[in-house]
Amino acid sequence: MFISEAYAQAAAPAAGGFDNLQQFLPLILIFVVFYFLLLRPQQKKMKAHRELVSQLRRGDRVLTQGGIIGQINKVMNDAEVSVEIAEGVRVRMMRSAISEVLAKTEPVAGAKDEPAKDGDAEPATATKIEPNSGGSLLGRLFGKK
């Protein structure tokens, strides 16, 4: 009827050292897998997008994150560009909202690459537009060229 001696109190104390490492080893392995499968590819993708956005210039055909295709009309500053999405329809947008460059223009020799200030003339670019080597838009979406 009375409670006898508790078995948990009679058990030997837990050993330290290697057993503690074994307890945390699955967590460490999960973090390593998480880093190589999720974090590292995302960092590479962000770096590539940052480079793409920094190399935008007047005349480039771009695809926005909203799915609108247009041509860069003017580079306002480090954060903004003016994109012509239809005849006479220009939209000011953030550079970070551009997801892909569909066609790049070739710079003319001696043209300055810095952003234009208010009242300044735009940098000279060649009118020849080279298509991106990715094929059609639907082909790029579904992995075909």
Q: Which CATH class is domain 57-141?
A: mainly beta
Instruction: Tell how strand 80-86 and strand 98-107 pair up.
Output: unpaired
Domain residue limits, the chain: 16-51, 57-141
Global model pTM greater than 0.85: no
- Structure confidence by residue, pLDDT tens digits, 28-66: 999 999 999 999 999 999 999 999 999 999 999 999 999
Decide: 82 and 115 in contact? Cβ < 8 Å.
no
- Structure confidence by residue, pLDDT tens digits, 92-121: 999 999 999 998 887 666 555 555 554 444
Residue 58: exposed, middle, or buried by beta-carbon count in 10 A (0-12, 13-18, 19+)? buried
